[in-house]
Structure 1
Amino acid sequence: MEGLHRPFNIPLCQLVWVCKFIVSLWKDEQLTCMPSEINYRFFKSHLKDLHHKMKSEKKIEGVIQKDNADLIYERIKKLKIKELKELISKVLLSRKEKVDRKIYSAYKNTSYYITLAKKLDLINERYYPSERAKSLARHKTTFFYLDSFQKDLIFRILVEKDKDMLIPLIISLPFEQNEKAPRIYLKYIEKCCDVTFFKYITKSQTSNYDKVRLSWIKQLGAVSKRGYLLKKYEWLKNEEAFAEHNENERKFLKLIVRNEEKMNKAFKQFERSYHTLVSEGKHDALFVNLYDIMSLMHCSYNTLNKIIVQYYEQKKEEKIVLFTNLVQSIDKRRRFYVKNQVPVLKVKII
C-alpha cells in the first residue's frame, strides 16, 4: 500500500473508531446523512471522544493530543455541520491563529483515518461498511485498545492488502542486526522481487514506511522479542504469499548477514589500523596513507579498495570520511578509487 509514511497511519485502533462511527450512520440500509458530511461529522465525533475519554498524560503517536483535543472541541462543539464545514474550509485556506493550525492538523488526522479504512476495504466509496467493519464495530473494547479478535482480524486484513511489503518485513525481523541501517528486507525486495520503487524515494521516506509497519506489528503482538512469528499468528505461514517468499528470502538474508558480518570485521580492522598509524605519528594533519593501512592490514590492493568504497558508503552518515590525492613528495604508486572513480591516496576519519 502506498501513502503509509505518515504518522496518522500508525494507531490501529483508528480502524475500530472509524468502523463504529460509520456503522452508526446506517439505519435500515440507508445512510442517515449526506456522504459529503461524513468527514466533518467524524471529526466532531472523534474530538468529543478524545475530550471525554483521553487522560491528560496519555500520548499516542498518530493520535491528537489531549490538550489540542480539548481546545478544538471547545471551539467546535456547538457548531452545526454547515458551520463546521465553513470553519474547516476557512482554515484549509488560511491558518493565522494558533487554534486554526491545530484544527487543520486535527482534521487531516481524522481524514487519514477514514482514508486508511477505505484502503483496507472496510468501507467503500459510498461509505457502506463491509462485514469485517461491522465485526470490528460490534466488539466492545476500551477506546484505545484492541481485543484479540480485533487484532487477529486486522492482521489478516493488513496481510491481504499489504502482503508484498509486510510479509517480507516480518520474515526479515530475526535477521535484523542494526536498527539504524535501512531495513534488510528492502535488499531482498530490490534484488529478488523485481521491485525498484524504493530505489527512487528518499531513505527518510522509506524509514517512515517501515516505522508504520513495525508499529502495526508491535501493536498486534505478532512477533517475539527476537523477531519470530508468534504461535497465535502461525496461520500466516499457510498463506501463499508467505510460502512464496519464506525460503528464498531466508536464504538471501542469511547470505547478506554473513557478508555484513565479514564486512563489519573488515571495517573494524580498517579503523584500528588508521588509529594505530595516527597514534604513531604517521599522518599528515590526520590524513593517513592508504598504503600504510594496507601494509598493517596485510591485505591486497583490490581488497582494500573494496573496503574503502564500502566503508565510505556505509559510514558517511555517522562519520566524516575524507579522502585526498595530495602528497608532500612524488608518489607514483597506483591510486585507490572511491566516489565515482575519484583517485585518492590518503584518508581521514573524524
Structure 2
Amino acid sequence: MSSSFDLLYTDTEEELRSAVRALLTDRCDAARVLARAETGRPHDPELWHTLAVDIGTAGLLVPEKLGGLGAGHREAAVVLEELGRAVAPVPYLTSAVLATEILLGCDAREATELLGELAAGRQVCAPAVPLTLAPGAPLPPAVRDTGGGVLTGAVSTVADAVAADVLLVLADTGLYAVPAAEVSLTALVPLDLTRPLATVTLEDAAGTRLADSATARAAVAGALLSGAGLLASEQLGLAQWCLTETVRHVRDRHQFNRPVGSFQALKHRLAQLWLDVASARAAARAAADALTTGAPDAPLTVAVAQAYCSGVAVRAAEECVQLHGGIGMTWEHPAHLYLKRAKADALALGTTGHHRGLVADFAELPSP
C-alpha cells in the first residue's frame, strides 16, 4: 500500500465538520429522528436543503466548472462522519456521492446538466441499483430498453428512492435518467428506519440516455468504489458516537455507590473499543485520501477500510446497547437506531466477507 497517506484533518475539513455538526445538533437530535422514523418517511426536506444548499455539501465532489465546489472525497468523508454520528435521515450517500460519481463518469450534455442540478441542491438523484451491490461484484441484469429509451423492468432494495426526483437506471442499452414520476415504488420494510428502501418498477417509463452500456457500467463500478470508501467514514462517525455516549453513561451511572465505569471489566471493554475506533479512523481516512488522490491502490485501501470499519461499527453499537442496560433496549433511547444503521451498513455496498475476499485477491493470497 502507499505510504504517503495524509490521515490528519485539515483546517478546512474541521471548519466543514463544525458547520455540519452545528446544523445536526440543532435540527437532527435523536427525538426528531425517532419521530420521523415512526412515520415511515424519515427524510427531512428542510434539513436536506440547509445541508445541501446553504452549507453546500451536495456539490463537494462536483468540479467548479460544472457548478460544484470542486472539493474532494476527504471533505465528503467528513460530512459522512457527522451524518453517521447523528444517524441523519438525508440522502447524502445516494445522491451527493453515488449518483454524483455515476454522472461524473458520463460525458453526455444531459449528465452535465443534471450534475449542476444536484450540486445546487435543486434535485435529489438516486441510483436504481440494489444498496447491497458491491464494488468488484458483477452488475445485476439491466432493465430492458424496449426502444427509444422506453424502459421496462424492476430493481429491488433501492435506497432513498422515495426522496428522489430523478432515478439513474442501468438498462441494457446504457444509463438513463428517469423522472421519479415515471416509476412506481413499493416500499420495503428496512432494518434501518432512517434509510428507506423500495422496489423500483418501470413500465414503459421514458428516460433520457446519459451514456452507452460500456460507459454506464464503468461509471457505476467507479461509483460503487467511491461509495464503499466513503461509507467507512459514516461507520466511523457512528462508532464514535456509540463510544462517546457509552463512556458518558457508565461514568454517570452508579451502582453500589460507585460509577459503573469504574469496574475493571467495563474499563477493559471500553479501552478495546477505543482502540478499535482509532484504527477505524485510520482506515477510513486512508480510503478517503486514496480516493481523493486517485491512488493506484485505492481499490485495496477501500476494501481494507470496509472490511474493518463495518465490524467496528457493529461492535460499537452492540456495546452501546448492552452497557446502557435496560434503557438501551427501549425505543425511546436512540441506541437502537445506531445498531440498526450499523447492521444495515454492514450489508451496504458489500459485506465484510466480500471486502475481505477483495483484499485477499489484491494481495494474491487465498481468500478467507
| Coarse TM-score class (shorter-chain normalised) | under 0.3
Bigger RCO of structures 1 and 2 (CA < 8 A, at least 6 apart): 2
Pair member with larger Rg: 1
Structure with the largest fraction of strand: 2
Give me the TM-score of the superposition, normalised by structure 2. Answer: 0.26
Greater fraction of residues in helix: 1
